[in-house]
Structure 1
Amino acid sequence: MKHVLIVGGGLGGLAAGIKLQANGYQVTIFEQNGHFGGKMMPVQLGDYSFDFGPNTITMPYVFQKVLKEAGENPDNHLEFVHIEKHTHNLFPDGTSFYMTTNRNEMVEQFEQLDPHAEISYYDYLEEVKLLYETAENHFFHRTFSSWTDYLDSKLFRALWSVRPFETIDHFHRQFFRNDYIRNAFNRYATYVGSSPFTSPAAFALIGHLEMGEGVYYVKGGNTKIVKAFEDTLRTLGASLHLKTKVNKIIVQEKQVRGVELENGEIITGDIVVVNGDLLTAYPELVEEAHRPHFKNKKAKSYEPSISAFVIMAGLKNRNPNLIHHQVYFAEDYQAEFHELLQEKRMPGDPTICVCNSSYIDQDAAPGDNLFILVHAPAVTDEDSYDKEEYKHLIYDKLKRYGLDIPSQLVVEKVVQPSDIASTFSGYKGTLYGISSNRKLDSFLRPSNVSKDVANLYFAGGTAHPRGGSPMVVISGMNVADKIIHHS
């Protein structure tokens, strides 16, 4: 029985571990933190529960498939709750707009706000469905290591059909003429840590997931997905280790031989899967001499995605105007991305995302449990802003919209990009590893297979297919498939 060592217990590593253990491999997972799931982390502040990580879930079938392939009934672990009216978008002049999978309600709103969209919305849904189906059929479930992988004629046609040279903003201008409406859809670029004004139109496929297939929340918190994966691994007989840091991957004769733990213990293994931010983990774990195709200079050449400034705030009341998710937009959305990506500073007028999961799941908290997120630049050597001042800038803006947080505050915790970098070993504190602002980085992600070290694999948001909870799970499953069929 071959022994697979997985460094990092995020979703990708857990998914890979489940599939491998269920297919006759012995899996051992090492996680440096005190929880599995990576950024999908539960946070408890007094009586208030928060999910640090995705506020909503798309593609529930991806998570269910992992459990099914291990012989588990997903319904025994996870209850996915469909949220029909999932996002309330609010704008500086008082305009507001709900995003819902109810197509009639969408068209009724367009009738008042964007008559062109009233006519074009069904064309939009068909176009983003086509983008999604192309990506699903040709990109998600395979690995790429160089541009030569794209030379297959069918794959090349598929690549061309997902509009690689068009931006998300340009794509949306065909369907939405109201700036506010368009920016509500443009926000999908931030789901991959990028700007809608530079990232490729291919990522507009997220519109199919949210507006076509639907948005979900897991009863009891989205972190129940992690618990389901962890329980399944234990049932299958995998060996799981929390608070266990791997210092080094042992390489001999261009092949992995095991890992060295922080305490000096050597664990031998036949295969190693690194589930973490590749730009951080690969240089830290493997000596540069062993990876000539991925030297430190190359790791530093990638543009990091955006990060986040997060406030978790538990309120004593339930505010009737809050639904599961609301977004308070900046006056100038494009200028906000210029501040983030070109000036590399905190936006003066940030777009604020507020999730209130207790709207769906009142057992999560006695009052509102607000997960408040604004986008932030990746960590730089010149980070210079006052955390408390910026927190109050956010609170002051929300108060202008009628949400007075300080007057209702019971518990509070602030997380900055530097905290994300230290807790999750994320490259410069990014949420999604590499950005998609450069066309090359959008489609040619780092490979899931080391070019230099045999039996060394990579899963997670930095490698193919990219970040986002369903994508990192697919990444882990892709790696497991690769190992099963090539080892």
Structure 2
Amino acid sequence: MKAIIIGGGLGGLSTSVTLAKHGVDVKLYEKNDHFGGKMMPVDVDGYHFDFGPNTITMPEVFKEVVRTGGLDPDQELPFTKLDYHTRNQFKDGTVFDFSTDKAFMKEQISRLDPKGYKKFDSFLQEIERLFHLSEKYFLHRTFSGWRDYISPTLTKSMTQVRPFQSMDRFFKQYFSNPHILQAFNRYSTYVGSSPYKTPATFAMIAHLELNDGVYYVRGGNTKIAEAFVKAAEKQGAALHTNARVTRVITRGKKATGVELENGEIEEADHIIVNGDLLKAVPELLATEPRSHLSNEKIASFDPSISAFVIMAGLDTMLKDLHHHHVLFSKDYQKEFKELKAGHYAEEPTIYIGTSSKTDPKLSPGGDNCFILVNAPATGNQTIKAEDYKELIYHQLAEAGIPLREHVHFEDTMGPREIEDKFGAYKGALYGPSSNNRMQAFMRPFNKSQDIDGLYFCGGSTHPGGGSPMVVLSGQNVANQILGKIVHIE
């Protein structure tokens, strides 16, 4: 059996490990000069940056891939748990830190939110319930068509994960302090969406951070991609960088191979597209054989938010900066309305990931600040990157975080660069948004409805965005090809 994987992000690498482990002849083609997709290392002037993701949860998902590849995950992926992991800072000087230390969390909440203090224990129990239901019935499945949703057990479980309630309304059941609500509502951006529209189901992300924990890999989170590559090659997969696939070859309604940019033809029994299928499918397939993912259908999807990124290497280490540090805007609802309208926020919420706080060897000369603000998917924005960068630096300085005066190295990347570099539809970080229930729970299927032998993995398909979900999508597709499909009756 032969399989070709288009794209070497975490989903494609995950697929390659499992297929190769079971004797499949695997060839993977990646158009960029690195594997890992958005998990891209940037090393310059003595600074190391993880382009993404900066926040890691569900470490066992990554370990399992490495273990499948015949490697020792503890040796390849030295995870460090960050017990006190995120500083949430607000314009009035209030700070609220996220931690897996329950007593510490309750002590903070007791001072800020009496209602939240009384309900915090039940809150933790409910977000844990949401996660375990999703894990049991949803995360380890592939979806090949609408019939896969016709299951009494699946239907019942979906009604139990609060699909008709927004994330914001869910959090308001437990908390009343506007700062605490804003901090929790930010979890919607982990799937590139608005907390005022995203289903409360995704509040399970809070469980991963507050109950299970946030992790970091020594040497940089990009070590995850490196370990996946090592595992895939150990199992015999052939991985190629700087190798762009220009076309999926079909015969009738069957995918039979691919054509590379150099004109070379490779045949295979199965083709797996790892990437944003909303952009990849139109580029790889003619319109005639894909009625279920026609150009009109693709245009109907609401893309998730994108990002404006500054990678800033400082000439010093700022003592008040944390590994994960968020400076919130005053008006979160206004911020998301501006993004929805296709505009950059006048006052954005600013995330700063500084892995040197945990791993000083990554940038011994000063902090390696990865600064990210939410940005709209590409449209007709006229804002200049230089102007928006200065706006961000100004807001940080006003909040007592004087990054600008210490910048030794910097580089920026906006939605258009993200679209071009990573093949992201309109620069969206997570494929379709979760701003409505249809897109949140019924993402494009893992198996083509039009072409036999064609599969999809990555953040734009099931089970969704975020690095653990992307890895699971790769595992799910591999298991489906191997005949190890999870069935829920």
> Shorter chain as normaliser: what TM range?
over 0.9
**CA-atom RMSD, angstroms?**
1.0
Measure the CA separation in 2 of the matches of 1:97 and 1:324: 14
Q: Provide the C-alpha distance between the structure 2 equivalents of 1:38 and 1:9, rounded to a whole number of angstroms.
A: 6
Aligned to 1:386: 384
**1:15 matched to which residue of 2?**
14
Deviation at 1:486, TM superposition (A): 7.6
* Cα-to-partner distance string for 1:402-428 (whole Å, 9 max, x where unaligned): 111221111000011000000001000
The alignment partner of 1:188 has SS state of helix
Residue pair 2:70, 2:234 contacting (<8 A) in 1 also:
no
Structure 2 counterpart of 1:118, one-letter code: Y
Matches of 1:376 and 1:400, distance apart in 2: 21
Structure 2 residue 291 is the aligned partner of structure 1 residue 286? no
- Tell me how far apart the structure 2 counterparts of residues 124 and 150 of structure 1 sit (CA, whole Å): 29
**CA shift for structure 1 position 340:** 0.2
1:146 is displaced (CA, Å) by: 4.2
Distance in 2 separating the partners of 1:321 and 1:261: 50
8 Å CA contact 1:45–1:412 kept in 2: the answer is no
Residue 28 (structure 1) shift: 0.4
Q: Which residue of 2 aligns with 1:134?
A: 133
Shift of 1:253: 1.8
For the Cα contact (< 8 Å) 1:8–1:29, is it kept in 2?
yes
Report what 2:407 is aligned to: 409
The Cα of 1:323 is off from its aligned counterpart by 1.3
Q: TM-score, normalised by structure 2?
A: 0.98
Question: What are structure 1's unaligned runs of at least 5 residues?
Answer: none
How far apart, in 2, do the equivalents of 1:389 and 1:294 lie?
38
C-alpha displacement of 1:144: 2.3
Q: Is the 8 A contact 1:193 1:431 kept in 2?
A: yes
C-alpha displacement of 1:483: 0.2
C-alpha distance in 1 between matches for 2:150 and 2:263:
45
1:169-228 Cα offsets, whole Å, 9 max, x none, are 000001110011011011100000000000100000001100000000000000000000
TM-aligned CA deviation for residue 45 of structure 1: 2.0
List 4+ stretches of structure 1 deviating above 6 A.
none
Deviations 1:6-38 (A, max 9, x none): 000000000000000000101000000000000
Q: Amino acid of the residue matched to residue 326 of structure 1? A: H
Q: 1:400 aligns with which of 398, 401, 409?
A: 398
Over residues 123-170 of structure 1, what are the superposed CA-to-partner deviations in whole Å (9 max), with x where a residue is unaligned?
000000000000000000012244443331111110000011100000
- Matched with 1:458 is 456
Deviation at 1:111, TM superposition (A): 1.1
Q: Distance in 2 between matches of 1:258 and 1:402?
A: 56
Q: CA separation in 2, counterparts of 1:30 and 1:105?
A: 47
Q: Match of 2:430?
A: 432
Alignment pair present for 1:151 and 2:142 = no
Alpha-carbon distance in 2 for matches of 1:110, 1:329 = 18
2:261 is equivalent to residue 262 of structure 1: yes
Give the Å deviation of 1:76. 2.0
Q: Which runs of 5+ in 2 are unaligned?
A: none
1:225-253 per-residue CA deviation (whole Å, 9 max, x = no partner) reads 00001111111111111000000000002
Distance across 2 between alignment mates of 1:440 and 1:270: 32
Give 1:257 deviation, angstroms: 1.1
In the alignment, which residue of structure 1 is the partner of 2:349? 351
What are the residue-to-residue correspondences of 1:21-36 with 2, within 5 Å? 21-36=20-35
- Candidates 357, 360, 382, aligned match of 2:358: 360
| 1:416-465 Cα shifts (integer Å, max 9, x gaps) | 10000000010000100100001110100100001111111000000100
- Secondary structure of the equivalent of 1:411? strand
Whether the 8 Å CA contact 2:306–2:375 is kept in 1: the answer is: yes
2:383 partner letter: Y
